[in-house]
Amino acid sequence: MDKLLIRGGTPLSGEIAISGAKNAALPILCASLLCTEPLRLTNVPQLKDVSTMLRLIEQMGVRVTREGPDSLVLDSRGLDNPLAPYDLVKTMRASILVLGPLLARCAEARVSLPGGCAIGARPVEQHIRGLQAMGAEIQVEHGYIQARAPGGVRRGLQGACMVTDMVTVTGTENLMMAAVLAEGETVIENAAREPEVVDLANCLISMGAQISGAGTDKIRIRGVDSLHGAEHAIMADRIETGTYLCATAVTGGSVRLTHTSAAYLDAVIDKLLDAGCEITTEREAISLRAPPRLKAVSIRTSPYPAFPTDMQAQFMAINCVAEGSAVIRETIFENRFMHAVELIRLGADIRIDASNAMVTGVDRLDGATVMATDLRASASLVIAGLVARGETLIDRIYHLDRGYERIEAKLSQLGAQVTRVR
Ligand code: EPU
């Protein structure tokens, strides 16, 4: 298993390009299942989760042609196996995103039920309830979601009005994809407003779907008979952007991140300004200059446009060495503080009380061997390792490879001393 060895203490400086967003690419790969003409995608990040999703749709009969390092053509004319098996779903929960498209296109689907994961139980009953409202018959048996549209492909799913019990990102995406080929109108209320939902909607619209309201909490979809081929560029990864901003802030450095936008990062940028960073934005770039010492900043995670849970661990890491104390409140996932115990191994002062973490900045962290437990937890350990004295060895970095493209190459480009140990 690969490890990452970091020698801390070098301020990051220079310029790197941000990759396409993992959490936009994954649902958009699934959108290719909805039509029989090719979907051409650019700015697709090369990540483990993306290759897992490609493997999943390929075994369903989708032909994947790579045209360049970040561009793909997906042709799902030959889709004939609407099955998502346990061995792939267990490695990536986002596999649940095939359920809506398969049901819409094939009128049946058999998708392994995702289990719990390191950050919480993460049930999918909202996805199931929404599809049932559209007429799907769903049974959960032997660990699989067995779904079918009773009238078969000719009648398919029926449009419906639904209000989700909580804001769910992949739930909104699954239901939106199911609804684009349903008969009549679907209204999703309490919909997720995340930019990745909007990117998916834009891709579906370019394929001929009729969708309005994406980016608000009420999305209307008028079903159409079929979708057509299209071309779409995946949006920039706002969480990768935020992670490199935090890494620069913690090392006292100065960077310019290109191929990205500040448009979706207001909550994160506000907190970095509160911490004392100077930030300048251009249309497709963000620059950050860090102060000699950061100030601690309290955060509370909530659905977009509030502070994202996917940036919580990175802010915990910067608070570990900031001046003063801060409270971090996680409201989305019930178990997303696994990085705290690893940060404590590096010398951090963190006290956890249920969904609150009290972090008091210390003068310095000391390198140690630590273990990555999930994707964003791993990112927080990298950030801490970059500022810690001496060497930090991060074990189980396959988590990082799921969501950060060429992380050691990008960090090295900014002057960090990072090596992958195989
Ligand atoms: N929830 C339910 N029932 C459901 C659906 C969700 O109880 O049917 C709960 C979840 O357990 C959680 C909350 O609702 O407590 C929100 O979960 P959501 O469904 O929004 O999460 P997700 O769609 O599974 C996506 C991202 C996550 C990100 C969350 C929150 C993708 C592929 N994943 O997950 O990304 O943390 O939204 O913004 O889009 C990551 O990239 O590291 C990551 C975990």
**Among residues 251, 306, 254, which one has the least CA distance to residue 278?**
254
Sign of torsion over alpha carbons 295, 298, 301, 302: negative
The average pLDDT across 31-47 equals 98
Residue nearest to atom 10 of ligand 1 (CA): 122
Protein residue closest via CA to atom 11 of ligand 1: 122
The candidate with the shortest Cα–Cα distance to 308, out of 175, 191, 394, 196, is 196
Interhelix angle for 338-345 vs 312-320, to 10°? 20
Residue 304 CA: nearest ligand 1 atom is 38
Higher-scoring residue by pLDDT: 279, 122: 279
Look up residue 410 and give its two tokens.
Answer: 């990008």
Verify whether residue 277 is a known catalytic residue: no
Peptide bond into 305 cis (omega under 30): yes
- What six digits make up the tokens of 121? 């139980």
Give the number of the atom of ligand 1 that is nearest the alpha carbon of residue 124: 8
Tell me the mean pLDDT in the region 73-80: 97
Average pLDDT (49-65) is 97
pTM value is: 0.98
- Tokens, residue 105: 């296109």
The pLDDT of residue 14 is above 90: yes
Task: Say which of 117, 161, 277, 320 is annotated catalytic.
Answer: 117
pLDDT at 120 over 90: no
In the predicted model, is pLDDT for residue 110 greater than 80?
yes
Q: What is the pLDDT of residues 224-254, one digit of tens each?
A: 999 999 999 999 999 999 999 999 999 999 9
Instruction: Give alpha helix (H) positions in 212-311.
Output: 238-251, 266-274
Outline where DSSP puts E strands in 127-247: 137-141, 144-148, 161-163, 185-189, 210-212, 218-222, 230-233
Confidence band, pLDDT 50/70/90 cuts, at residue 121 = confident
* 122 CA from centroid of ligand 1 (Å): 7
Task: Say what the pLDDT of residue 293 is.
Answer: 96
- 302-329, pLDDT tens digit by residue? 999 999 999 999 999 999 999 999 999 9
- pLDDT class of 116 with cuts at 50, 70, 90: low
Residue 84 has pLDDT above 70, yes or no: yes
- Confidence band, pLDDT 50/70/90 cuts, at residue 151: confident
Q: Residue 264 Cα, ligand 1 centroid: separation in angstroms? A: 18
Ligand 1 atom closest to Cα of residue 129 = 8
pLDDT at 309: 98
The count of residues in the chain is: 422
Mean pLDDT across the chain: 96
| CA quadruple 50, 56, 59, 61: dihedral sign | negative
| pLDDT tens digit sequence for 374-408 | 999 999 999 999 999 999 999 999 999 999 999 99
Least confident of 149-153, 161-165, 352-356, 415-419: 149-153
Give CA–CA dist 130/163, Å, rounded.
8
Question: What share of the chain in percent tops pLDDT 70?
Answer: 100
Mean pLDDT of 137-162: 91
Q: Enter the DSSP assignment of 311.
A: G
Strand partners, 137: 148
Quote the ligand 1 centre to 289 CA distance (angstroms): 32
**Cα separation values, 364 from 280, 345, 351, Å:** 28, 12, 17
Ligand 1 atom nearest the C-alpha of 97 is 32
Q: Are 375 and 313 in contact (CB under 8 A)?
A: no
The set of protein residues with a Cβ atom below 6 angstroms from ligand 1 is 23, 26, 94, 120, 122-127, 166, 168-171, 309-310, 332-333, 375-376, 403
pLDDT at 131 over 70: yes
Question: What span, in angstroms and rounded, lies between the C-alpha atoms of 56 and 334?
Answer: 29
Percent of the chain clearing pLDDT 90 (strictly above): 95
Q: Which residue lies with its CA nearest to atom 40 of ligand 1? A: 310
Q: Which residues pair with 144 in a beta bridge?
A: 112, 141
- Describe the chain by its helix, strand, coil percentages, rounded to 5: 35, 30, 35
Q: Ligand 1, residues 332, 374, 376, 398: which to mutate, most atoms within 8 A of Cβ?
A: 332
Q: Which residues, in sequence order, are CB contacts of 248 under 8 Å at separation 6+? A: 11, 12, 13, 254, 255, 288, 290, 414
Distance 331 CA to ligand 1 centre (A): 12
CA of 292 to the centre of ligand 1 (A): 36
Q: What is the Cα–Cα distance from 127 to 147, expressed in whole angstroms?
A: 12
292: amino acid identity, one letter: P
**pLDDT on residue 155:** 78
